[in-house]
Amino acid sequence: MTDAGRVHATVPSVPPAPSFPRDRTCPYRPPESYGALAADGPVTRVALYNGRVVWLVTGHAEARALLTDPRVSTSRQNPDFPMVAPRTESQSTVVLPLLGVDDPEHARQRRMLIPRFGLKRVNEMRPQIQAVVDRLLDAMLAAGPGADLVAAYSLPVPSTVICSLLGVPYADHDFFESRSRQLFLARTAVGSTAALDELRDYLRGLIARKEAEPGEGLLDELIAERLAEGEVDREELVMMAVLLLVAGHETTSNMISLGTFTLLEHPEELAALRADPALMPGAVEELLRFLSIADGLVRVAVEDLDLGGRTVRAGDGIMISTSVVNRDAAAYERPEALDVHRSARHHVAFGYGVHQCLGQNLARAELEIALTTLVRRIPTLRLAVPAGEVPVKPGDTLQGLFELPVTW
């Protein structure tokens, strides 16, 4: 039976549940209708595109509790796992490393990678990240005034860094960047599947070339230390490489551009950062909370559990709206306000629990360095078009900008 036709009698279907997720009308705020969902309690119910009714978590405490609960699963191979959009339907046939597996398999995969993404290794990368940022800003300033900040800065910063880390040729960036966009923007399973297949084929070929001619990078290490020893099979390594390459640039690029746009739209907060650059690490956490660009963590219950006063039955689908959770008034004062002086570190923009984002230390470093240097080196930075004319990516669960026209 298809997911659309599956009957989940444990979740009431009357009255009709509101639809979820929805596209934003403002790129840095969740849809207004999400406020009504939060008002219905920390756990409510919503209907997905295919009519399936699932639980939606909007409370901060409830989200963190769920994300550490072993009675829920991330496995897309579970027939009850909810697909949130047509483009995600193909995931049921593909095992997603890290994101789509549970312990102990998840722990095994994470142990292979965590040394390269730990805080010590990321701190060692900071001079390299700074050099990339300075080089790109030098070129942008030389060509200006005026630039598309996405093409000139926010996209090449994380793309260059992740290519260097993995050992992927940066010369291929146009290919993998375009296929990554298609993964997130496709409105059908056909479009997302085609993009995924092309990325897998590309990385299969790259891994084969590296086996013949080893280089330097995380992929080379995994080939020599894990693939050759039989600790990981070839297709698992290919999918791991896809995940690292896509996640390693797409979300960080969106955060740099959308974070810059948001600061330009909040001039008092931007002025505070210019006056005191030491605020930037905390401001990065606040931007992560405020923007919540990856909006929608998905789980399926494998046992009955109580959550926020609701009884969730085994087989029920569950979604967490990170944008609503990160604006929970029970967790933050003035949650709708951007406040770079706020302590926002307990947000769930990177998830929480064992599946918390592997690359969060790297993302934080890239954001901090990219935004600090941009604010310092171009103090007169401003939008080159009215805010309403900035082209926004259509996104229900991932937010970003196609372009960010700026001048100085």
Computed from CA positions of residues 9, 12, 17, 23, in that sequence, does the dihedral angle turn out positive or negative? negative
CATH of range 33-407; options 3.40.50.10300, 1.20.58.2030, 1.10.630.10, 3.30.70.141: 1.10.630.10
> Exposure string (b/e) for 128-140, b if CB count within 10 Å is 16 or more?
ebeebbeebbeeb
Show the DSSP H helices in 173-309 as ranges: 173-185, 189-212, 218-222, 234-247, 250-264, 267-275, 280-291
Place of tokens 């604006």: 327
The 10s digit of each residue's pLDDT in 14-70 is 567 889 988 888 899 999 889 889 988 999 999 999 999 999 999 999 999 999 999
Three-state secondary-structure class, residue 391: coil
Nearest residue to 270 (alpha-carbon basis) of 202, 223, 340: 340
The 10s digit of each residue's pLDDT in 102-124 is 999 999 999 999 999 999 999 99
- Which residues have C-beta within 8 Å of that of residue 70, sequence separation ≥ 6? 103
Q: What is the pLDDT of residue 333?
A: 95
Q: What is the pLDDT of residue 183?
A: 87
Three-state secondary-structure class, residue 329: coil
Bridge partner residues of 398 (DSSP): 294
Residue 2 confidence (pLDDT) above 50:
no
The 10s digit of each residue's pLDDT in 291-326 is 999 998 999 999 999 999 999 999 999 999 999 999
CA-to-CA dists, residue 291 to 326, 390, 405, angstroms: 9, 16, 20
Spatial contact of 314 and 48, defined as CB atoms under 8 Å apart:
no
> What's the number of CA atoms in the CB half-sphere (13 Å) around residue 266?
20
Least reliable range by pLDDT among 98-107, 221-230, 262-271: 221-230
The C-alpha atoms of residue 283 and residue 338 are separated, in whole angstroms, by 9
The model scores a pTM over 0.75? yes
The C-alpha atoms of residue 88 and residue 353 are separated, in whole angstroms, by 23
Cis peptide before 145 (omega within 30 of 0): yes
The 10s digit of each residue's pLDDT in 112-156 is 999 999 999 999 999 999 999 999 999 999 998 999 999 999 999
Name the more confident of 277 and 10. 277
Three-state secondary-structure class, residue 148: strand
Q: What is the residue type of 367? A: L
Computed from CA positions of residues 46, 52, 55, 57, in that sequence, does the dihedral angle turn out positive or negative? negative
Name the average pLDDT for the chain.
93
Nearest residue to 250 (alpha-carbon basis) of 157, 322, 166: 157
| Percentage of the chain modeled with pLDDT above 90 | 80
Q: Would you state the structure tokens that stand for residue 389, as one six-digit string?
A: 């004319």
Least reliable range by pLDDT among 38-47, 79-88, 258-267, 380-389: 79-88
Residue 92 confidence (pLDDT) above 80:
no
End-to-end CA distance of the chain: 57
Q: What is the pLDDT of residue 4?
A: 45
**Full 3-state SS string of 276-301:** CHHHHHHHHHHHHHHHCCECCEEEEE
Residue 404 confidence (pLDDT) above 50:
yes
- Which residues have C-beta within 8 Å of that of residue 389, sequence separation ≥ 6? none
Taking the CB of residue 209, how many other CB atoms lie within 10 A of it?
12
The 10s digit of each residue's pLDDT in 173-217 is 999 999 999 988 887 888 888 999 999 999 999 999 999 999 999
The C-alpha atoms of residue 145 and residue 147 are separated, in whole angstroms, by 7
pLDDT grade, residue 13 (50/70/90)?
A: very low
The C-alpha atoms of residue 95 and residue 99 are separated, in whole angstroms, by 9
Q: Would you state the structure tokens that stand for residue 251, as one six-digit string?
A: 């979300």
The C-alpha atoms of residue 406 and residue 408 are separated, in whole angstroms, by 7
Bridge partner residues of 310 (DSSP): 307
Instruction: Give the full edge-to-edge strand order of the sheet including 43-47.
Output: 43-47, 53-57, 317-320, 297-301, 72-73
Spatial contact of 207 and 223, defined as CB atoms under 8 Å apart:
yes
The 10s digit of each residue's pLDDT in 348-375 is 999 999 999 999 999 999 999 999 999 9
Place of tokens 């905390």: 282
229, burial (CB in 10 Å: exposed 0-12, middle 13-18, buried 19+): exposed
